[in-house]
Amino acid sequence: MKVIFSEKLLKSIPKEKYNYILSEIKEFYQEYVEKEFNIRNMKHGWSVRRIIGTTNIQEIYKFRVNIKDRILFTYGKYIGLREEFSNSIVFLEF
């Protein structure tokens, strides 16, 4: 599984939080892999919820970084990426 960052995500992270947010994403991803891609088995500090709404993306999730900050993500298969990226996790927006 690969990690993909959208350009919109990278531009939307405030400069003073940039390194912190990227390290939290890295930690989230590492635990996600360790728990065999099962979000429900991850530590309770991570809050991940599916977002239901009107969008052209089939499934979008909201990952709580801390009490204030959230990151939207999805999987490559839901946004029509090439087959080698279909199992990738795609971080969309901060």
- Convert the pLDDT of each residue in 17-56 to its tens digit: 999 999 988 888 888 888 777 777 777 667 888 888 767 7
| Full residue range of the structural domain in which residue 54 is found | 3-93
Band (66; pLDDT cuts 50, 70, 90): confident
What's the pLDDT at 45?
67
**Who's near 38: CB < 8 A, 6+ residues apart?**
none
Q: Total domain count for the chain?
A: 1
pLDDT at residue 20, as a whole number: 92
**Amino acid 44: pLDDT:** 63
- How many Å apart are CA 89 and CA 94, to the nearest integer? 15
**Nearest Cα residue to 21 out of 30, 10, 31, 32:** 10
Percent of the chain with pLDDT over 70: 96
